[in-house]
Amino acid sequence: MKKENLILVLFFGLMVILSIVLSGILVYFPTSPVDKMFGQSVVVVDEKPVVDAKYTSILSSATVNDLFGNKLADLYVVRTDNSYFYMELYVAIDLKGKVYARDKVVTTKDSTSASYFPLVREYLLKNYSGLYYENVQYIDGAAGATTITVSRSTIKNVVSQTIIYHVGEPVDYINLLFDNDYDLVSSSTEDGILISNVKVSGVDYQVYQATGEGTYYDHQATNTAEITVLIAVNQAGVITHVSLPTDLYGHSGGNFYNASKTFLEGIIGKNITDAMPDSTTGPTTNSNGSQYLINLLLQDIQGVA
């Protein structure tokens, strides 16, 4: 064989080897958003729609496997829609209970929202990159400008709902209300309000849980959503504990939620028969407001107490 031909054969062989090596690297190199969640190439299998009236924000579920067929996580596609963004997110929960989230589809609704979206993505990557699901409740869902406030709140809410769907266990809101274990003596429902008689550290309480729907304004549009409040009343009729669960709070989050929480906490120490405080915001020409709805829920509780 001539020297020139030998060189060509050697170069051809080297090119084949390099192609094989490069192909192997590309197979394992993470490229898709789901790949990047786990730092490796993965395979998404068994994708199916989720049809559940209680979890309308969850669009589908699937399984994430590594390239050897080993299961890594369960994967959900979820959506959230507010005045600034329509977003579909990948939310994964791995076998250790760690949560990951990345954006899949994003539609910004104005130029301001488009300019803020990099901060929203930064929030996703910073907070939902392997945090144990029990700790999602502690993620900041508030700080930032209004656009970011709303987006962080809606993202946190939809991820929290996905965790509840995945784990299959309802949140114990009474436990969160007291931040303590309790014994349930009895429970009943009257006029749509859940009434629980409980004993905490030897003390008897009645816990009232009420949910209602009302309008709120997020500086862009008037929206309608639900709020749930819980209050505990001791045997003397004094309100001792209150709770405004974030995952059951459908109105604007962030500072808006904090103002509503402060408003509700203002009834601690009052007797259940006392007049409930009027809302400090709303109704306005735009909406009735979150505090107005809370006031109505408190009056509903008084009606059955």
Mean pLDDT taken over the chain: 85
Above 90 in pLDDT, residue 237?
yes
- Sign of the alpha-carbon torsion through 9, 15, 18, 19: negative
C-alpha 171/C-alpha 174 separation (Å) is 9
Pull the structure tokens for residue 240: 């001792």
- For residue 78, give the nearest of 100, 55, 103, 57 by alpha carbon: 57
- The model carries a pTM of 0.52
Q: How far is CA 269 from CA 231, 239, 241, 289, in A?
A: 11, 5, 9, 24
For residue 143, the model assigns a pLDDT of 41
134-160: average pLDDT: 71
87-102: average pLDDT: 94
100-126: average pLDDT: 87
Pull the structure tokens for residue 185: 């003596």
Task: Give the number of residues written for the chain.
Answer: 305
For residue 26, the model assigns a pLDDT of 44
For residue 144, the model assigns a pLDDT of 43
77-102: average pLDDT: 91
3-class secondary structure, 93 = strand
- Domains identified in the chain and CATH numbers: 33-167 (no CATH), 173-304 (3.30.390)
Residue 278 pLDDT class (50, 70, 90 cuts): confident
Above 60 in pLDDT, residue 27?
no
For residue 261, the model assigns a pLDDT of 94
Q: What are phi and psi of 245, to 5 degrees?
A: -55, 130
For residue 29, the model assigns a pLDDT of 66
For residue 206, the model assigns a pLDDT of 97
- Sign of the alpha-carbon torsion through 122, 126, 129, 135: negative
DSSP state of 191: T
